[in-house]
Amino acid sequence: MAPDTRHPDKLDRAVIFLGPPGAGKGTQAKELARKYGVPHLSTGDMLREHVSKGTPLGVKAKPIMERGELVPDSLVLQMIRERLERPDCSHGFVFDGFPRTVAQAKYLGELLKHHGYKRPFVIHLAIDPSILLRRLTGRRTCKVGGEIYNIYERPPKVEGICDAGNLRRRRGRVGTASGRSRRSHRPALAGV
């Protein structure tokens, strides 16, 4: 069998991103996972998948998530353990949103050791507080299409109007319910 030349630098370990929300952990985690051809393990995505598939874990997590509460460590850790035991994780993986607590970090350390992984890489993303503030307060999401903007860094072409709605308005002729179309794609304040 020909050697795998796609990923000459094997990761063979976990990568963990630490840092405040808005520092770009998710973006960096996805990019790194893509580069090394390893799974990107977002605990949020994993939980939503369990819920949508109706797994035993998902059935337990669903009412907790619907109440807007934090899913307890016992469920999160069980989910992580199951995921790490799947074969696609054998060359390493990148975490996104985990570990969040000292207890989770300790459990993860034991788990990685038990499965024979090398010591994890921990990347702490630091960010200038003023940039962080702009990023969090400037974030806008379109309620219709989910498009994401930032009024400081990546504003829509027309203030307060989603580019998708703006496009639609220009394609249609003036006088054809243009106001409604504009309003329907108006970016709204998003939660952090």
The residues binding Zn ion (CB under 5 A) are: 142, 144-145, 147, 162, 164, 185
Q: How far is the CB of 160 from Zn ion (least distance, A)?
A: 12
Q: How far is the CB of 188 from Zn ion (least distance, A)?
A: 10
User: Which lies closer to Zn ion via its Cβ, residue 46 or residue 161?
Assistant: 161
What distance in Å separates the CA atoms of residue 56 and residue 52, rounded to the nearest whole number?
11
DSSP-derived letter for residue 112 is H
User: Which lies closer to Zn ion via its Cβ, residue 136 or residue 164?
Assistant: 164
Q: Output the 3-class SS for 15-67.
A: EEEECCCCCCHHHHHHHHHHHHCCCEEEHHHHHHHHHHHCCHHHHHHHHHHHC
Q: How far is the CB of 168 from Zn ion (least distance, A)?
A: 9
What distance in Å separates the CA atoms of residue 94 and residue 32, rounded to the nearest whole number?
7
Residue with tokens 């985990």: 98
Vertex 13 angle, CA 12 and 14, to 5°: 145
User: Which lies closer to Zn ion via its Cβ, residue 41 or residue 162?
Assistant: 162
Q: Which of 119, 76, 96, 77 is nearest to 19 (CA)?
A: 96
User: Which lies closer to Zn ion via its Cβ, residue 23 or residue 161?
Assistant: 161
Q: Which of 110, 113, 109, 111 is nearest to 122 (CA)?
A: 109
Q: How far is the CB of 105 from Zn ion (least distance, A)?
A: 38
User: Which lies closer to Zn ion via its Cβ, residue 57 or residue 162?
Assistant: 162
Q: How far is the CB of 171 from Zn ion (least distance, A)?
A: 14
